[in-house]
Amino acid sequence: MAKNGGAGLPLAGITVVTLEHAVAAPFATRQLADLGARVIKIERPGTGDFARQYDESVGGLSSYFVWLNRSKESVTLDVKSPEGRDILHQLVGRADVLVQNLGPGAADRLGLGAAAVRERDPSKIVLSITGWGSDGPWAQRKAYDLLVQCEAGLVSLTGSPDEPARVGISVADIAAGMYGFSGVLAALYQRRATGEGAALEVSLFEALAEWMGQPAHYTAGSGRQQPRAGAQHATIAPYGPFTTRDGHTILISIQNEAEWTRFCDTFLAAPETATDERFATNTLRVANRTVLDKLIAGRFGELDAAPATALLDLAGTANAGLNTVSQFLAHPVLGERDRWRDVATPAGTVRALLPPISFGHDEPRMDPVPALGDHTGHVLKELGLSPAAIAALHDRHII
C-alpha cells in the first residue's frame, strides 16, 4: 500500500509547478498530487493563495484551502522581482507540468505563457485555466464561479419556480478543474508516446457549457426552456421529495414504465393508477404533475419513514433521504466502505474523503495541507541555494 510521498502511484516521478488561486486550478493539481505527482505551489509571500482567507471554519483555516491543497509543497516567492522570477523559471525548467490560473496576460508577462515555455522545451505540458478563454471578446473579464453559472444559464434552471438559485457548490470551478486534470493526464500519455508536451487551455465558461448540454439540446429542440422545479426533476415524473407521516423527507425517482407500474402496484396499492390516462406516459405525468404529486403525497402521509422506505425498496423504486451535510458526513456507505482518512493541517488533524478513483490496493496520497511557505527552504536548497542566500531572500521579502 502506498504511503506518504506517492511512491508506487501512477504519477510518481512527475513534477508539477503551479501558479494557482481559488478553486479550479488547485482542484486540478490536487488530483494530480492524489495520484503521486509532486506539486510545488507558488504563493505570494505574506498572503499566499487568496483561498486561504475565504473562511476560518477548520480550526481557523479555510475549508476551501484544506479541501484543495493537501499533499502539495508551498513555496513563497515574489515572482515580480528579478530574483523571484529567476527562481520560478528554474523550477519550471525542472518540472514536467506548469499549471496557472493567473489573471489575463499575467503568465505571458512572467515569460511563462504556453508558447514561450514550450519553445524552450517542447516536452513541457502547460495548462492554463481561464475564465472566458484566452482570446475572444471576454478574455479580459473577471470570471468568478457564480458569474459563470449565471452566464451559462445554469442559475435559470436551478431553484424554485418563483426564484432562481446558484448551485450550492463551486460547480464551474470544479468542472474546469476536472477537465484540466484529465487534460494533463492525456498530455502525459501523449508525451510518453511521442516525447511532445502540450499547451492546454480550459475555460470555466466552456467547461460549464459542456455540462449544460442536455438543457441546451432540450431548449434548441423544443423551443422552450425546462422549468425550474426545485428538488423535483424538470422533465421526469414522479421524481422529487415527499414527506412521511413522521416528518421525514424521501426523494423518489421513476425512470421507466416498468418502475412506474411496480410503484403503483406495490407502494400506492393502486395498480389502476399506472394506466390512468393522465399518467400513462412520462410526458403525461409531467404535464399532470400537480395532480400526481398530490396523490403520491397522500400515500406518503399515511406512512412513517421506515415502512415507506421498505415498500419503495420492495417495489424497486429508487429512493433517498434528503440529507443535511451533517447526515452526509455520517453516511453509512462512506463509513462502512472505509472512505475516510486523517489528514494533517497546520490547525490539527481533519478527516478527508479518499478520492473517488481507486487503484486497487494502492491508496492515493493524503499528505498534509501545507502552511504558507512550508517548503520554501527545502525547494530552494534543491536548486543549490545556500542557507545564507535563502536567508537574504527572506530578509528582502522575496520569499
| Per-residue pLDDT at 89 | 97
pLDDT exceeds cutoff 90 at 343: yes
Q: Quick one: average pLDDT of 37-42?
A: 98
Last residue of a domain, one of 321, 345, 375: 321
Q: Mark whether 147 and 288 lie in a shared domain.
A: no
Q: Quick one: average pLDDT of 32-60?
A: 96
- CA contacts within 13 A on the Cβ side of 27: 18
Model confidence band, residue 359 (pLDDT cutoffs 50, 70, 90): confident
Q: Mark whether 149 and 283 lie in a shared domain.
A: no
Q: With respect to residue 262, please indicate whether it lies within any of the assigned structural domains.
A: yes
State the CATH number of the domain containing residue 307.
Answer: 3.30.1540.10
pLDDT exceeds cutoff 90 at 183: yes
Q: With respect to residue 7, please indicate whether it lies within any of the assigned structural domains.
A: no
Percent of residues in the chain assigned helix, strand, coil, to nearest 5: 40, 15, 40
Largest CA distance in the chain: 85
Q: Mark whether 336 and 299 lie in a shared domain.
A: no
Q: Map grid coordinates 494557482 to a residue.
A: 20
Q: Map grid coordinates 484544506 to a residue.
A: 66
pLDDT tens column, 293-312: 999 999 999 999 999 999 99
| Per-residue pLDDT at 229 | 85
pLDDT exceeds cutoff 50 at 4: no
pLDDT exceeds cutoff 80 at 344: yes
The span from the first CA to the last CA of the chain, in angstroms, equals 36
Q: Cα(320)–Cα(170) distance, rounded to whole angstroms? A: 24
Q: Mark whether 19 and 105 lie in a shared domain.
A: yes
Cell of 345: 493541517
pLDDT exceeds cutoff 60 at 1: no
Q: With respect to residue 217, please indicate whether it lies within any of the assigned structural domains.
A: no
Q: With respect to residue 231, please indicate whether it lies within any of the assigned structural domains.
A: no
Q: Mark whether 172 and 308 lie in a shared domain.
A: no
Q: With respect to residue 276, please indicate whether it lies within any of the assigned structural domains.
A: yes
Question: How many domains are contained in the chain?
Answer: 2
| Per-residue pLDDT at 2 | 37
Q: Map grid coordinates 505563457 to a residue.
A: 113
Last residue of a domain, one of 321, 343, 359: 321
Q: Quick one: average pLDDT of 69-87?
A: 97
State the CATH number of the domain containing residue 164.
Answer: 3.40.50.10540
The average confidence (pLDDT) of the chain is 95
| Per-residue pLDDT at 76 | 98
Last residue of a domain, one of 321, 347, 374: 321
Q: Mark whether 56 and 147 lie in a shared domain.
A: yes
Which residues form the domain of 122? 15-212+332-395
HEC per residue, 22-64: CCHHHHHHHHHHHCCCEEEEEECCCCCCHHHHCCCCECCECHH
| Per-residue pLDDT at 3 | 42
Angle at 155 between CA 134 and CA 213, to 5 degrees: 65
pLDDT exceeds cutoff 90 at 6: no
Q: Mark whether 256 and 172 lie in a shared domain.
A: no
Q: Mark whether 19 and 64 lie in a shared domain.
A: yes
Q: Cβ(339)–Cβ(366) under 8 Å?
A: no
Q: With respect to residue 385, please indicate whether it lies within any of the assigned structural domains.
A: yes
Q: With respect to residue 5, please indicate whether it lies within any of the assigned structural domains.
A: no
Q: Quick one: average pLDDT of 314-320?
A: 96
pLDDT tens column, 188-247: 999 999 999 999 999 999 999 999 999 999 999 999 998 898 888 888 999 999 999 999
pLDDT exceeds cutoff 60 at 179: yes
Q: Mark whether 166 and 262 lie in a shared domain.
A: no
CA-based nearest residue to 74, from 363, 367, 396: 367
Q: With respect to residue 168, please indicate whether it lies within any of the assigned structural domains.
A: yes
Exposure letters 201-238 (e unless 16+ CB within 10 A, then b): bbbbbbbbbebbeebeebeeeeeeeeebbeebbbbbbb
Q: Cβ(49)–Cβ(21) under 8 Å?
A: yes
User: The pTM is what?
Assistant: 0.91
* pLDDT over 70 percentage in the chain: 98
Q: Mark whether 296 and 257 lie in a shared domain.
A: yes
Whole-number Cα distances in Å, 98 to 29, 38, 40, 181: 10, 12, 10, 12
